[in-house]
């Protein structure tokens, strides 16, 4: 208190502000959840098309005979994952459905894909690799009862390869070998 100016010392009452601050603090502590450590695989998944490589702008039944070079086809390799309703992969087949599907042991699937696509490390190192063919897409056709984790392992496998033609990641497409059995 200053006697010279004969005025009283003014002090703010901070109790109310402290109450409010504690309320805010309680709110933030209660709503705080540390972000989960998550990662992702980005895929561009166009809907399944009845005609291979047909784009959305093309009309069904259009006369393509005038200029066959305009017909865009994507050469796809199909990987069938069957589970006999056990949830885990029991049989694997690799190939082109209309031509032939080759049974492959699940543990050798990565080795089998190596004969169709170039391994990413070879591609990065500029090496040729032993891959043959010009496949651009992998269609994973899985049983609807297969566990999601098993399908993701195969998607993960596919992201380790690049196409022989242009060194890009092959397009991955998912399809189900039957309807979802759940309601």
Partner 1 sequence: MSGSVPGGGVKSEPNLTPILDMVFQLITFFMLVINFKSAELDLSLQLPVLGSAKPLPDGAKIKLLVLNVQICTKCPHSGCDALATLRRITDDAKKVTGYNLVCERGHEEKWPQGAITNGKTCLTVYGRLLCKESRGKDFPGIEEYLQSEAELSMRAADPPIKNRDEIVHEGRELDDTVVIRADSGCRFGAVNFVITECQKQGYRRFALKTGQLEK
Contact residues toward partner 1 (CB under 8 A) are 11, 14-15, 17-18, 21-22, 24-25, 28-29, 31-33, 35-47, 55-57, 87, 142-153, 155-156, 159-160, 174-176, 178-183
Burial class (CB in 10 A: 0-12, 13-18, 19+), 89: buried
Nearer to partner 1, 101 or 155 (CB): 155
Determine the Cα–Cα distance for residues 16 and 12; give it in Å rounded to an integer: 10
Q: How far is the CB of 77 from partner 1 (least distance, A)?
A: 19
Nearer to partner 1, 47 or 68 (CB): 47
Q: How far is the CB of 71 from partner 1 (least distance, A)?
A: 17
Nearer to partner 1, 100 or 107 (CB): 107
Q: How far is the CB of 141 from partner 1 (least distance, A)?
A: 10
Determine the Cα–Cα distance for residues 13 and 176; give it in Å rounded to an integer: 68
Nearer to partner 1, 44 or 99 (CB): 44
| Per-position DSSP letters for 118-137, written without gaps between them | EEHHHHHTT---S--S---E
Determine the Cα–Cα distance for residues 66 and 45; give it in Å rounded to an integer: 30
Q: How far is the CB of 119 from partner 1 (least distance, A)?
A: 13
Determine the Cα–Cα distance for residues 94 and 81; give it in Å rounded to an integer: 9
């Amino acid at each position: 208190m200053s006697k010279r100016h004969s005025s009283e010392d003014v002090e703010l009452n901070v109790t109310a502000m402290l109450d409010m601050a504690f309320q805010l603090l309680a709110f933030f502590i209660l709503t705080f959840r540390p972000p989960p450590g998550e990662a992702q695989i980005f895929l561009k998944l166009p809907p399944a098309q009845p005609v291979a490589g047909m784009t959305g702008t093309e009309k069904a039944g259009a006369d393509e005979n005038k200029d066959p070079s305009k017909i865009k086809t994507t050469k796809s390799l199909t990987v069938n994952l069957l589970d006999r309703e056990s949830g885990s992969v029991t049989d694997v087949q690799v190939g082109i459905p209309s031509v032939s599907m080759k049974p492959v042991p699940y543990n050798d699937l990565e080795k089998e894909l190596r004969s169709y696509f170039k391994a990413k490390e070879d591609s990065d190192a500029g090496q040729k690799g032993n891959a043959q063919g010009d496949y651009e897409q992998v269609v994973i056709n899985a049983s609807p009862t297969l566990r999601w984790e098993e399908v993701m392992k195969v998607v993960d496998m596919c992201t380790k390869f690049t196409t022989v033609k242009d060194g890009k990641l092959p397009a991955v497409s998912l399809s189900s070998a039957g309807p979802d059995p759940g309601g």
